[in-house]
Amino acid sequence: MAASVNTRSPGSLETPILNTNEWEYQEHMHHFHYVNNELYCEEVPVTQIATEVGTPFYLYSYATLKMHFHAFDGAFQDIAHLTCFSMKSNSNLAVLRLFALEGGGVDIVSGGELYRALKAGIEPSKIVFSGVGKRSEDLAYALESDILMFNIESSQEIERLDGVARDLGKKARVAIRVNPDVDPATHPYISTGLRENKFGIDIRQAPEQYEMAAKMKNLQVTGVSCHIGSQLTQVDPFVEALRRLLDLVDRLKQSGISIQYLDLGGGLGITYEREAPPHPAEYAKAIKSEVKDKDLVLIFEPGRVIAGNAGILVTQVLYTKSTPEKNFIVVDAAMNDLVRPSLYSSYHAIQPVVERQRGRIKADVVGPICESGDFFAKGRGVDAYEPGDLMAIMSAGAYGFTMASNYNSRPRVAEVMVYGGQYYVVRKRETYEDLIRGEVIPDFMR
Ligand SMILES: *Cc1c(COP(=O)(O)O)cnc(C)c1O
């Protein structure tokens, strides 16, 4: 199978290499690659999976997920740290299990995510709980599960958590998620660390909130946290945020509040098109030089950088049509399966599963949903696909399936994981019965 391997897909994280330029531009071994014009995931031809599982489906590479996890986690191996995969980017149990087996933790944002984490065997002592709107039930569930830390986002939440912990006779370990007011220079919808964002507590108000939390009998102040945004392509905003958090830690120390954990959130970007984000090793180098003499355990919450390029969405071409203005390629996946292009105008590379040398056209790649916003690409140069052809929508491993819905009563697609020469359906395709589960026609209408 070594014949003519070419790597046309966007960048993935190879083993940690300090020379980032090399990493960026090298033709590195990628776990989605072509062998004799056919797209493979590790050692399995994508066409085979499509034939046996049907389309559309998400396809994850075990080896790529593992490699990305270690590229990130390994970059911090010489300092005390914990890598908590951000579960909202990909919450499939098999994916979570992989991180559990590799020693990773998770960052959760809901009770449902905590349930998944525990089912996947993530150690509670490696779970951090973020989010602006945690309900009392969620707080209680997490307290009873004895998670590592709550990242609190408002003064009311401080009081709420203290109350819930008191009722349960427990003590909650807390960090305050501060908003450091750093511009992450990313898409406005995924920037979270600016003063105007809903997340966290303004860093200028943080000391008084810490004083308040420190007085609560059922809280134990242990950390500071932040998360400034997603798909960052530069190191500087992270360093800036870190410095502001370190200043806060010093200030708190002076008022007798000692901090053990510093949670820097997630946000490291990936290559979808031509972005050149820093390699985790470069990110780690910058972070480590700021914290070397500090007695702190660092927590990271990477999502996209680990899962993004470890998954693709495989779809089949249903129809092609041309208007005087445009070419359209209608595929069987839609915005309900992968919403990023519709929601953020995100770019996803589009590649043929079998390269057929039919020439190139400029086209819109669209789904069957009754919305003009249902597209994967607009005015994109793509191969001249024909009905029945399989297409791979690349870089779909993060914020893909987790953001899927049943809009237009479309069953959610299957998720498949390849491990070497084997593939496993790690989530069955939903059925029509699944679509109406829980729905009831009231008796008076029968
Ligand atoms: C979304 C999110 C992350 C992960 O962001 P990525 O860009 O996927 O790394 C981490 N922490 C928190 C609090 C988040 O909301």
- Write out the catalytic residue numbers: 370
pLDDT of 104: 98
The one-letter code for the residue type at 172 is A
Q: For a ligand 1 pocket test, name from 84, 130, 134 the mutation site with the most ligand atoms within 8 angstroms of its C-beta.
A: 130
> What percent of the chain clears pLDDT 70, i.e. is strictly above it?
91
Instruction: State the Cα–Cα distance between residues 95 and 109, nearest whole angstrom.
Output: 17
Residues 6+ apart with CB under 8 A from 236: none
From the CA of 267, how far away is ligand 1's center (Å)? Answer: 6
Rounded to whole angstroms, the Cα distance separating 174 from 279 reads 30
Are 165 and 234 in the same domain?
A: yes
Asked if residue 11 has pLDDT above 90, the reply is no
Rounded Cα distance between 66 and 258, Å, is 35
CATH of the domain at 287: 3.20.20.10
**Residues 155-168: pLDDT tens digits?**
999 999 999 999 99
Residue where a domain stops, chosen among 258, 282, 302: 302
Q: Where residue 183 falls among pLDDT bands split at 50, 70, 90?
A: confident
The helix (run of H) or strand (run of E) holding residue 208 is: helix 206-215
Atom 10, ligand 1: which residue's CA is nearest? 266
CA of 127 to the centre of ligand 1 (A): 14
Q: Which of 29-43, 310-324, 402-416 has the lowest mean pLDDT?
A: 29-43
Helix (H, G, I), strand (E, B) or coil at 18: coil
Q: Evaluate whether residue 155 is within a structural domain.
A: yes
Query: Within this chain, do residues 358 and 238 fall inside the same structural domain, yes or no?
Result: no
List all residues whose CB is within 6 A of at least one atom of ligand 1. 86, 88-89, 107, 130, 227, 230, 265-268, 301-305, 398
289 and 409 share one domain: no
Return d(Cα 385, Cα 339) in angstroms, integer. 22
Do residues 320 and 286 share a domain?
no
Angle between helices 62-74 and 280-291 (to 10 degrees): 30
Q: What CATH number is given to the structural domain containing 363?
A: 2.40.37.10
Q: What distances in angstroms separate CA 410 from CA 162, 163, 364, 393, one per listed residue?
A: 42, 42, 21, 19
* Cα–Cα distance, 86 to 263 (Å, whole number): 12
* Cα-to-centroid distance, 392 and ligand 1 (Å): 25
Measured CA to CA, the distance from residue 317 to residue 303 in angstroms comes to 30
What tokens were used for 406?
């049943």
* Nearest atom (ligand 1) to Cα of 89: 8
User: How far does the centroid of ligand 1 lie from the alpha carbon of residue 115, in Å?
Assistant: 19
Co-location of 338 and 428 in the same domain? yes
Distance of CA 175 from the midpoint of ligand 1 (Å): 16
Domain boundary residue among 302, 330, 353? 302
Q: For residue 338, how many other CB atoms are within 10 A of its CB? A: 26
Q: What's the number of domains the chain is made of? A: 2
Atom number of ligand 1 nearest to Cα 308: 8
* Best mutation site among 65, 84, 107 for ligand 1 pocket (most ligand atoms within 8 Å of CB): 107
Which of the listed residues 150, 187, 301 should we mutate to test ligand 1's pocket, taking the one with most ligand atoms within 8 A of CB? 301
Q: How far is it, in rounded angstroms, from Cα 169 to Cα 155?
A: 21
Q: Do 351 and 412 belong together in one domain?
A: yes
Q: Are residues 273 and 342 in the same domain?
A: no
For strands 327-331 and 311-322, give the pairing.
antiparallel
Question: What's the pLDDT at 197?
Answer: 74
- Mean pLDDT, residues 225-229 taken together: 96
Instruction: Say how many Å lie between the CA of residue 269 and the centre of ligand 1.
Output: 11
- In the block, tokens 């029968």 appear at 446
The alpha carbon of 86 and the centre of ligand 1 are apart by a number of angstroms equal to 6
Q: Say how many Å lie between the first and final Cα of the chain, rounded.
A: 61
- pLDDT, averaged across the chain: 92
Assess whether 284 and 384 both reside in one domain. no
Is 345 contained in some domain? Answer: yes
Q: Which of 20-29, 339-348, 354-363 has the lowest mean pLDDT?
A: 20-29
Using the atom order of ligand 1, give the atom closest to the CA of residue 302: 9
Note the pLDDT tens digit of each residue in 354-397: 999 999 999 999 999 999 899 999 999 999 999 999 999 999 99
Contact 184, 228 (CB under 8 A): yes
Encode pLDDT of 200-220 as tens digits: 899 999 999 999 999 999 999
Q: Is 336 inside a domain boundary?
A: yes
pLDDT higher than threshold 60 for residue 6? no
Residue 280 has pLDDT above 90, yes or no: yes
Q: Does 227 map to a domain?
A: yes
Residue 220 lies in a domain: yes
pLDDT higher than threshold 70 for residue 27:
no
pLDDT of residue 1: 34
Among 13, 72, 84, 86, which is best to mutate for testing ligand 1, by the most ligand atoms less than 8 A from CB? 86
- Nearest ligand 1 atom to alpha carbon 399: 8
C-alpha span between 435 and 431 (Å, rounded)? 7
Q: How far is CA 341 from the centre of its chain?
A: 16
Q: Are residues 274 and 405 in the same domain?
A: no
Between 20 and 179, name the one with better pLDDT: 179
Number of the ligand 1 atom closest to the C-alpha atom of 267 = 7
- pLDDT of 228 over the 90 cut: yes
Residues in the chain, overall count: 446
Task: Give the pLDDT score at 2.
Answer: 35
The answer to whether residue 359 is domain-embedded is yes
Q: What is the mean pLDDT of residues 270-284?
A: 95
Contact 64, 11 (CB under 8 A): no
326 domain-assigned = yes
Q: Is residue 125 part of a domain?
A: no
Range of the domain at 27: 15-64+306-437
In this structure, the answer to whether residues 166 and 250 fall within a common structural domain is: yes
User: What is residue 103's DSSP assignment?
Assistant: T
Same domain, 24 and 134: no
pLDDT at 8: 45
**So what's the pLDDT on residue 184?**
83
**Rg of the Cα atoms in the chain:** 23
Question: Is 270 found in the same domain as 192?
Answer: yes
Q: Spell 144-181 as b/e; 16+ CB within 10 A means b.
A: eeebbbbbbbbeebbebbbebbeeeeeebbbbbbbbbb
Confidence label for 7 from pLDDT (cuts 50, 70 and 90): very low
The last residue of one of the domains, among 302, 328, 351, is 302
pLDDT value for 427:
98
